[in-house]
Structure 1
Amino acid sequence: MILPERSWGLGRALLCCLLALIAGCTAHPVTREHTTALRPAEIEATALGRWTRQASREEGGDSGFALLAEGEDALAVRARLVDEAERRLDIQAYSIDEGQTTRALLRRIFDAAERGVQVRLLLDDLSAVGQNARLAALDSHPQIQVRVFNPVTFGRGHLASWVLAAALDVQRTHRRMHNKLWITDNAAAITGGRNLGDPYFNAGDPRNFADLDLLAVGPVVDALSLSFDLYWNHGLAQPIGRYQRVEAGAWQHLRDELGAGPAERDASRSMPARRRHDGVAAKEALPDVLHWGKGEALWDPPGKIRVPGRPPFGMTLAGALHERVMPLDSRLLIISAYFVPLARGTQLLVELAESGIQIDVITNALSASDMPWVHGDYAARRPELLASGVRLFEMRAEHEDTDDSAGLSGSPMSSLHIKALGFDDDQVFVGSFNVDPRSLWWNTETGVLAESESLAAEFHALAEIGMAPALSYEVGLDGSGNIVWETQIDGERVRLEHEPGSRWQHFSAWLSRVLGLAPWL
């Protein structure tokens, strides 16, 4: 039976009330202040701002870039950027998990706020499920503001009730803010694939994510700061205080819970790191690691989430990136945790490969993927891609010991989480964008396109390590056209004729393909 529109509206209202009673959560009136990035004079009034502006001028107005492949480095740089913040700290993240690295960074953020730094923390609403009280306590500090993007008003206490409430407006709520940014004094920024949680910094047990960030200074940070402001001030970004009430001093209790001992205060010591670093964010260390070149920040508009159906390709980050890098001259390198090219993407890659462009793809093996249902459509397209000359590498879940994994291995149990692209020999894109329909159409994403031959050379060298048989399977076709996987086991090169993975992983991939779920993944 189809209910009349008015009857459905009444039913939805009643269900919302029921969810509110179940969750004990209602919206409260909270002032929502419009704030923006620091002005140029305010940026140059900070030590980091003065140095980055002067360094950029000396490099002809270019931006500086550094790849952060090791989880230990990525954590240490974030910690150093918090410690060096004088005026402003802006953080945008898809998820924030409980863990020792998160606790250590939050403690540093409290220390920064106590010395007068203004902190703006913008999270996708899904990450707030079950953490509303904690985030509201953080927000209760006079110098810290926490907002959630694309929020669900009711059922916020538990994932099941959140999903039920989200189902009332699924056309909006299935779309999420996937952006990741970390900006200090609007002078130095990090973007890439890492969320906030132990597995992203090689501190997970037993599994870690092999990931990649890009540290940037110079003019490109102005654009990244603008993108943050657009999201922060958008109507979909709402103060956490509207959904969770806490006492005024709740932040003091949270700070005490985080601990104040030396081990807790030193992020680089709060995890079982293989190496320890003082960080490379300080101006004394930056000149030794930065690659200078042109840079452009790209992002989806926050209003993409409200566009009915699939947004026009031209309004997406992917459309902007395609416009800037095509046509290619020689090569394309794709490193994507979730690689779902669909029919149109497959056709494009085949055409490029057949025109003489070298195309290499690194993604997760079925056995390594944390979302095996994403694997189904890609698996069906492997024969066509391979026949055209595209090279496919799938990172293994368990790999051989290697002295130089450059952060790609993550740990003996790892899953690829990198989202990065290399174009020819001089351009690199690092951000939150997976080569899949969800990043293209449904989520919002951000990243930086950098033009630098030395940065591109480092990126391709990193990829070569990831392609090594000790870490990945090289997928190929045998003489009969069947898929095979070549790799290294116990130091010996072997060829596998059956795809590694559990029965559940194989079933999930098969079911996803049969149900045609790929456009939504």
Structure 2
Amino acid sequence: MHRVLAAALSLPVAACATLSPAQHERAEAIAMAARDTTVDCARADHCAAPSPLRALAGQAFAASAPATPRHYALILDEGGEALLARLDLIRGATRRVDLQTYIFDKDDSARLVIDELLAAARRGVKVRVLIDQLSAIADLPILAALGGAHANLELRIYNPTFGLAKPNYLHYAASVVCCFRRFNQRMHNKLLVVDDAVGIAGGRNYQDDYYDWDAQFNFRDRDVLVAGPAARAMERNFAEYWNDRRSVPVERLRDVARLLLEQGVPALPPAQPQRPGRVELISRAASDAGLVRERLAARALPVGAVAYLADLPEKHHGDPGSEGAGAAGLASLLAGAREEILLQTPYLVLSDEALEIFRGLRARAQPPRVVVSTNSLAATDNPIVYALTYKYKRRHVRELGFDLFEYKPFPRDPPVDPALGAWQPGAPGTDPGPTVARSELPGGSVGGSRGSGQERQVQDKLRTETRPSLLRASAPANRPVPVTGSGPRMGLHAKSMVIDRRIAVIGTHNFDPRSETYNTEAAVVIDDPAFARALAASIERDIAPGNSWTVAPRARPPVFSGLSYSMGKVLEASPILDLWPWRYATNYAFQPGPDCPLPLPRRDPDFHRCYVAVGDFPEVSLGPKSIFTRMLTAFGAGLVPIL
């Protein structure tokens, strides 16, 4: 064991010694010399395509004054529309495209975006792409190819472990041992800004399962498009990260530089989409200005002031309380609630600060109603985090008074549109099964192969955002649990909040300790009743009976009810997972009928007459013993700070 630890600790030194400064400079020179400088367009607008979404910015700026900014804002609920909006804006860019993200894969949707960014660069648009290292493109030849592709395209990697684009298992192990905090300081922001005029922010990364294109598991996510002066604040925040010392040009990373020295700049492999039809479909749709106007631009709402609450990279330099910090701003909004909070988060793990805020709200003479939409065990991509949620279910329901709803893996009415290539949850014939080759499924790599062995396991688990890919791949307890249904399923990934039907928040913050302490986060805040009502309607659709189960106290048992409650509360405070068999609350499904025409709140006297208990883990295809064994393993393996 000591020898293993010593070897792990020696890796930083070995990694630092791989290339000399002169070799780094030569590799950088190779990439720069290979970059194409040809520009395909001589027009001032760089041959930008007509973009109805880009045009919204012109209208917003024309209606704005310094003291009275005006914006257009659009909720992007459907994955297909979120991808369509990105393509429309990139094609409509006249000067600059800045993209910041946590995950960038190399599957159908991600490769499509890469090709669109390259096309924009070749017609003269300045393109900057910043990706967090933990989930960046896991392919050195592709990274090297992009590093030397065009003079108008720059790619940087944020906080690379030991200066590497693609660390191996031993590098990850060494980073946890030698520099745990730095390794866990991740850039969780997701942002696309075009021409300092239009921005998209929210929960979506660049991977098929964020756009309803994965045949097994897709995220129910949400973005917001903002056109107008607030895009300048988004651009300024992006520039802070781009110029930070943790953002390293891809050609300066040690493994990419070594490849450049050995092979020069490789050609970008040709796109080989796993489902070419849907790629062609969405590309054609993005070229149809009328369709984009009808489906997206026409639904944008005029709003006034918009704030971009975003952490600065100084959060990773020992100054978490720096001006503009997202967590501080969100805490202030929560504390100011008067009547109602609608909160949607995939991982309901509250920090101490959040607990204090919710307890303070609950202690008021007239506390606001708090509605929380989160994942069930069957829907979550992260059972470790759900284990913590399960442990504190009594606290959430009884002590904090949450009206809690858990998302179903096969929701009846999800925001999914097959017209843009999406998989419907539970659609027949879409479950690949264990005998189907990976190359036959959507979500494959640029070259039609996702690698093999341990590398494939790591890449296939990148969809889980809350833990490093190494830990996810090596911990079976943290893989999505098997479910009773077949076909693609869904899990919540949206991070949103509505306060008093007036203030709307859409962003990347999971309202958890990791978001507050380790990650940098960002959120768009819009103070507008009409937009807030639209976001509230979106969340309420997710908590409707066909899409979520209601969490409510069990019907009181005839005997030992006080003892059972007390034991559960005592065990909840213990450092182990609370497995007391008589839980305070469980999941319920609505049973409509002549006497129950409409869903009821859990506090209604007729609730238990109209709702039937479906157990703590509905639709999970495991026995109780297996579930608890897995959750115990997950709970023991998971450290709260890195969740």
Instruction: Report matched runs for 1:33-112 at 5 Å.
Output: 52-58=57-63, 60-112=68-120
Matched, 1:194 2:190: no
Q: Deviations over 1:135-174 (max 9, x none)?
A: 2211212111000011123564454144134233222111
Corresponding position of 2:236: 226
Matched, 1:496 2:598: no
Q: Deviations over 1:152-205 (max 9, x none)?
A: 235644541441342332221111100000111111110000000000000011
Matched, 1:254 2:268: yes
Shift of 1:380: 2.2
Q: Deviations over 1:260-304 (max 9, x none)?
A: x9958746169xx9x998688669963542331211011111021
3-state DSSP class of the match of 1:153? helix
Evaluate the alpha carbon distance shift between residue 340 and residue 79 of structure 1 in structure 2; reply closer, same or farther with a 3 A threshold: same
2:375 aligns with one of 364, 373, 396: 364
Distance in 2 (alpha carbons) for counterparts of 1:226 and 1:19: 34
Contact 2:11 2:171 in 1 (8 A): no
Q: How many residues align?
A: 501
Corresponding position of 2:337: 328
Evaluate the alpha carbon distance shift between residue 474 and residue 406 of structure 1 in structure 2; reply closer, same or farther with a 3 A threshold: farther
Contact 2:72 2:300 in 1 (8 A): no
Corresponding position of 1:416: 492
Corresponding position of 2:215: 205
Shift of 1:513: 4.5
Consecutive unaligned residues in structure 2, runs of 5 or more: 33-43, 427-488, 557-564, 566-583, 594-609
Corresponding position of 1:477: 553
- Choose 488-497 or 357-366, whichever is displaced more: 488-497
Matched, 1:438 2:556: no
Matched, 1:425 2:501: yes
Q: Deviations over 1:488-509 (max 9, x none)?
A: 5999963123433446654444
Shift of 1:312: 4.8
Distance in 1 (alpha carbons) for counterparts of 2:324 and 2:199: 24
Matched, 1:396 2:408: yes
2:245 aligns with one of 235, 247, 254: 235
3-state DSSP class of the match of 1:440? helix
Evaluate the alpha carbon distance shift between residue 69 and residue 302 of structure 1 in structure 2; reply closer, same or farther with a 3 A threshold: same
Evaluate the alpha carbon distance shift between residue 483 and residue 179 of structure 1 in structure 2; reply closer, same or farther with a 3 A threshold: same
Matched, 1:340 2:349: yes
Instruction: Report matched runs for 1:143-158 at 5 Å.
Output: 143-153=152-162, 156-158=165-167
Distance in 2 (alpha carbons) for counterparts of 1:130 and 1:27: 23
3-state DSSP class of the match of 2:74? strand
Corresponding position of 2:125: 117
Shift of 1:307: 1.9
Corresponding position of 1:39: none
3-state DSSP class of the match of 2:162? coil
Distance in 1 (alpha carbons) for counterparts of 2:204 and 2:129: 15
Evaluate the alpha carbon distance shift between residue 354 and residue 158 of structure 1 in structure 2; reply closer, same or farther with a 3 A threshold: same
Contact 1:26 1:153 in 2 (8 A): no
Q: State the TM-score, normalizing by the size of structure 1.
A: 0.84
Contact 1:93 1:122 in 2 (8 A): yes
3-state DSSP class of the match of 2:214? coil
Distance in 2 (alpha carbons) for counterparts of 1:327 and 1:300: 21
- Choose 367-376 or 178-187, whichever is displaced more: 367-376
Q: Deviations over 1:415-438 (max 9, x none)?
A: 111011111111111111101111
- Choose 57-66 or 483-492, whichever is displaced more: 483-492
Q: State the TM-score, normalizing by the size of structure 2.
A: 0.69
Distance in 2 (alpha carbons) for counterparts of 1:18 and 1:335: 44
Corresponding position of 2:306: 295
- Choose 91-100 or 493-502, whichever is displaced more: 493-502
Evaluate the alpha carbon distance shift between residue 89 and residue 515 of structure 1 in structure 2; reply closer, same or farther with a 3 A threshold: closer
Consecutive unaligned residues in structure 1, runs of 5 or more: 34-41
Distance in 1 (alpha carbons) for counterparts of 2:194 and 2:611: 47
- Structure 2: which amino acid aligns with 1:256? P
Evaluate the alpha carbon distance shift between residue 505 and residue 107 of structure 1 in structure 2; reply closer, same or farther with a 3 A threshold: farther
Shift of 1:15: 2.8
Distance in 1 (alpha carbons) for counterparts of 2:270 and 2:635: 49
Corresponding position of 1:520: 642
Corresponding position of 2:40: none
Evaluate the alpha carbon distance shift between residue 381 and residue 217 of structure 1 in structure 2; reply closer, same or farther with a 3 A threshold: same
Contact 1:92 1:121 in 2 (8 A): yes
Identity %: 25
Evaluate the alpha carbon distance shift between residue 267 and residue 172 of structure 1 in structure 2; reply closer, same or farther with a 3 A threshold: farther
Matched, 1:135 2:143: yes
Corresponding position of 1:37: none
Evaluate the alpha carbon distance shift between residue 105 and residue 514 of structure 1 in structure 2; reply closer, same or farther with a 3 A threshold: closer
Evaluate the alpha carbon distance shift between residue 435 and residue 118 of structure 1 in structure 2; reply closer, same or farther with a 3 A threshold: same
Shift of 1:344: 4.5
1:28 aligns with one of 24, 39, 44: 24
Corresponding position of 1:174: 184
Evaluate the alpha carbon distance shift between residue 14 and residue 329 of structure 1 in structure 2; reply closer, same or farther with a 3 A threshold: closer
Contact 1:193 1:212 in 2 (8 A): yes
Evaluate the alpha carbon distance shift between residue 281 and residue 465 of structure 1 in structure 2; reply closer, same or farther with a 3 A threshold: same
- Choose 83-92 or 337-346, whichever is displaced more: 337-346
Contact 1:65 1:216 in 2 (8 A): yes
- Structure 2: which amino acid aligns with 1:56? F
Bigger Rg over Cα: 2
- Choose 348-357 or 181-190, whichever is displaced more: 348-357
Contact 1:336 1:435 in 2 (8 A): yes
Q: Deviations over 1:331-357 (max 9, x none)?
A: 111101111014553343243245320
CA RMSD, aligned part only? 4.1
Instruction: Report matched runs for 1:9-28 at 5 Å.
Output: 14-19=10-15, 28=24
- Choose 340-349 or 18-27, whichever is displaced more: 18-27
Distance in 1 (alpha carbons) for counterparts of 2:397 and 2:287: 41
- Choose 332-341 or 102-111, whichever is displaced more: 102-111
Distance in 1 (alpha carbons) for counterparts of 2:361 and 2:153: 48
3-state DSSP class of the match of 1:226? helix
Q: Deviations over 1:366-412 (max 9, x none)?
A: 2211111112222222212212431001112233x338679999733
Shift of 1:109: 1.4
Contact 1:208 1:414 in 2 (8 A): yes
1:216 aligns with one of 223, 226, 230: 226
